[in-house]
Structure 1
Amino acid sequence: MAPYRVLVVDDSAFMRKIICDLIEQDKQFTVAATAKTGAEALLALQQHKPDVITMDLEMPEMNGLEALQQIMKTRPTPVIMLSGISEDGTRETIKALQLGAFDFIRKPSTTVSAQEVGHSLLEKMTAAVLTASKPSSPVRPPAKSVEPSERARGVKPARPVPASRTPKQGDKIAPRGQQSRPSVPEPVPAKAPIKPPARPAVSFVGEFSDIVAVGTSTGGPRALHQLIADLPANFPAPVLVVQHMPPKFTRSLAQRLDSFSKLHVVEAEQGQQVKVGTVYVAPGGYHMQLSERGGQFYIQLSEDPPRNGHRPSVDVLFESLLAYPKLRRHTVIMTGMGSDGAKAMKQLVDQGIPTAVAEAEETCVVFGMPRSAIESGAARTVLPLQEIAGFLVSVVDRRA
């Protein structure tokens, strides 16, 4: 069977050659065409109809973000962005993920070898073409108020897990005649809503009985956008987030989420006190754990070895919550490849936590992490993305 067709877009001839060579190391893929500008990419898209696209961010005439938006409008196709690690590059990468890019990789550099880039690129392209052909719910701007839906007012048993294929690391792609070409989620509107000028004060900052911990990976930035934007300003629990991302990108992620959120969103720092009204995003390259000192809770970061291939790891964060049964702990696993978080979520469920949510398949970009949580018996509740925030509002203790 014919291999999957890739369109490589980069204004550097040298970089195009590197990316093409990396792609063609795997016989499941072939480079159908190359382009050096966004405008050329749009022409190649219509002519060659690729199955997946690699896209540089910075190009003349039409940059990667502009091309991405046009691709999502004219012929939605999985796009993997190639990003540098400059501050502008990380910000633009996060924006691209929220505009519909499937995932991103860092370009080869003095700190990231071509071999590392090639492994990551092939893994992400495999996930892209294996992902089920279904759109996810678009990210919405912050609502004026959030009320739990009728469906989310009580804990429900998890839905049966569909038998559809979930990509895992090392998977081989089925022949093209045996599977349909995947589409990608609907694009996020290009215009960002204006950030609220002020957040209402929370009456009990620094004192809380509940805490929320969230883990996600591929597709996570868009999912986090919706989840965090939908939480109200008076949400009475801190939120700890692990998003699988390399160093520097998590700071840009936190800054962008903060611009959409009624809560304060920050990249977590060592020794930072955990307070109500704040969302803490684990920094890339560091595990994040909850610790206690003198009756107050703090962020603890470490460079311990990766878990499940990741640092930060969802399992590490969730495991740190095991030491604090006095807190009502609420856990959420959303879209992503692999199984990170499922093991520790199951331990917490066995300890009696009130909330263990897995995102439903129909809104996941990749169903791997939620599926693992469901199949292991860790997830007590399965909800589509747009209902998770309302469900958390309904179950977190509001000290009424």
Structure 2
Amino acid sequence: MSKIRVLVTDDSAFMRKVISDILSGDPEIEVIDRAKNGLECVEKCKQLSPDVLTLDIEMPVMNGLEALEKLMVDCPVPVVMLSSLTREGAEATIQALELGAFDFITKPSGPISLDIHKVADRLIERVKAAAAVKGRMRRTLRPSRPATPEPTRQSPIPAPAPLRPVQPVINALPRIQNNGKARLVVLGTSTGGPKALQNVLTAIPAGFPAPIAIVQHMPAGFTKSLAQRLDSLCQIRVTEVTDGEWLEPGTAYIAPGGYHFEVQQVSGKLQALLHQQEPRGGHRPSVDILFESVSRLTNVDKWAIIMTGMGNDGTKGLKQMKEFGPVTSIIEDESSCVVFGMPRAAIQAGLADHVAPLEKIPELLCKLLH
């Protein structure tokens, strides 16, 4: 079997060497070259056609975001970003994922991380997963401003225009009688999730009649930037959930990185419960833990969505939801998944009521709720 050919890009000679040594230590990976800035990276990608690219964000001449945008148009390649744990690094990483980066790894201690070996296994795992999607990479159009007006609600952070025009799937939602029952949508996703969430949440109209509880696998420090970015683009409110917060219709609540997110009932109302118990399947937050908590809720109409991601997080929780009472599930179709792992596991377990490509999920969800 041929090796995965990787181009390593970082402005630090030390980081280029250490990252190359980590990747070359795996028998399935070959580092074919290194680049010291974005411009050199783009040129070498055109010449060498690597299977995967690792890309730093902060670099001279051409930074990682500029290089990524150019690559996605001229010569698409799966990209694993290396990001710092600063607010600026988190915001840039969210932009990179929107632009088409496959996934990201956080540098443990800043741009020059002498302890980068701490994330060696994760880096190798991401590179191998990225290589598996190379054949599905497509050239993209350059970003354009949306044809629809910007939401009038003020956003906490100004943000650039979304990557593609978005149009809510329903312009106005009627008030529906539901016999006094609360409603709740739960959603789990991982690799490819930030961009998938943007596609789904920007197409949901204001007045959506249920809260949406979301687990996106992400480290602490990044989920807040993700929520703020999505909030600036959506007609519904999007926020990083806080412990004890009441869940209201028309709002999407994203679990903070490093915390499990459960939903509990207090006097018939839905409330967020956050905790830092042990990771489940290597994840904190865990989709299974969110779904299992929702399975215990009574007198609540429930909808569950599983989208792109590695592994099988969410399958056990969805199974428990179905065992404990009625729930309607929507699973993302393989055709639109960045990684089909989580959706595949749910489908193979016989838990899918509806299987739909990403662009059809918002419309299907709105129809099911009405």
Regarding TM over 0.5, the answer is yes
Partner of 2:125: 123
Instruction: Give the drift of 1:347.
Output: 1.7
Corresponding residue SS for 2:118: helix
1:129-168 matches, within 5 Å, as 129-131=131-133
Give the 3 Å change call, closer, same or farther, for CA 202–249 of structure 1 in structure 2. Answer: farther
Contact 1:345 1:379 in 2 (8 A): no
- Distance in structure 1 (CA, Å) of the matches to 2:194 and 2:139: 14
Corresponding residue SS for 1:230: coil
**Aligned pair partner of 2:184 in 188, 211, 232:** 211
Partner of 1:90: 90
Corresponding residue SS for 1:109: coil
Moved more, 39-48 or 101-110: 101-110
Higher relative contact order, chain-length normalized (CA < 8 Å, sep 6+)? 1
Instruction: Give the drift of 1:359.
Output: 0.2
Partner of 2:12: 12
**Aligned pair partner of 1:389 in 339, 362, 366:** 362
- Distance in structure 1 (CA, Å) of the matches to 2:70 and 2:128: 23
Contact 1:77 1:183 in 2 (8 A): no
TM-superposition CA deviations, 1:43-67 (whole Å, max 9, x none): 1112211110000001111110110
- TM-score normalized by structure 2? 0.89
1:351-390 matches, within 5 Å, as 351-390=324-363
**Aligned pair partner of 2:137 in 184, 187, 203:** 184
Instruction: Give the drift of 1:353.
Output: 2.3
Partner of 2:166: none
- Distance in structure 2 (CA, Å) of the matches to 1:289 and 1:278: 16
What amino acid is the match of 2:258? Answer: G
Partner of 1:296: 269
- Distance in structure 1 (CA, Å) of the matches to 2:317 and 2:265: 19
**Aligned pair partner of 2:151 in 196, 199, 204:** 196
Q: Which runs of 5+ in 2 are unaligned?
A: 155-171
Q: Report % sequence identity.
A: 45
TM-superposition CA deviations, 1:304-363 (whole Å, max 9, x none): 000111000000000001111310010000000000000110121233424111100000
Corresponding residue SS for 2:202: helix
- TM-score normalized by structure 1? 0.82
Partner of 1:39: 39
Partner of 2:239: 266
- Distance in structure 2 (CA, Å) of the matches to 1:353 and 1:294: 21
Contact 1:100 1:185 in 2 (8 A): no
Give the 3 Å change call, closer, same or farther, for CA 186–293 of structure 1 in structure 2. Answer: farther
Contact 2:288 2:313 in 1 (8 A): yes
Partner of 1:282: 255
Partner of 1:149: none
- Distance in structure 1 (CA, Å) of the matches to 2:120 and 2:140: 27
Contact 2:279 2:286 in 1 (8 A): yes
TM-superposition CA deviations, 1:175-194 (whole Å, max 9, x none): xxxxxx52425547535647
Instruction: Give the drift of 1:295.
Output: 2.6
1:248-263 matches, within 5 Å, as 248-263=221-236
Contact 1:331 1:345 in 2 (8 A): yes
Contact 1:99 1:187 in 2 (8 A): no
- Distance in structure 2 (CA, Å) of the matches to 1:346 and 1:112: 43
What amino acid is the match of 1:363? Answer: S
Give the 3 Å change call, closer, same or farther, for CA 186–346 of structure 1 in structure 2. Answer: farther
**Aligned pair partner of 1:241 in 214, 239, 245:** 214
- Distance in structure 1 (CA, Å) of the matches to 2:213 and 2:142: 27
- Distance in structure 2 (CA, Å) of the matches to 1:212 and 1:227: 13
Give the 3 Å change call, closer, same or farther, for CA 232–192 of structure 1 in structure 2. Answer: same
Instruction: Give the drift of 1:3.
Output: 1.6
Instruction: Give the drift of 1:381.
Output: 1.1
TM-superposition CA deviations, 1:151-182 (whole Å, max 9, x none): xxxxxxxxxxxxxxxxxxxxxxxxxxxxxx52
Instruction: Give the drift of 1:256.
Output: 0.7
Partner of 1:329: 302
Contact 2:73 2:142 in 1 (8 A): no
Partner of 1:231: 204
- Distance in structure 2 (CA, Å) of the matches to 1:4 and 1:257: 34
TM-superposition CA deviations, 1:186-219 (whole Å, max 9, x none): 5475356474113999989xx8621100000000
Aligned residues: 346
Give the 3 Å change call, closer, same or farther, for CA 112–182 of structure 1 in structure 2. Answer: farther
What amino acid is the match of 2:205? Answer: P
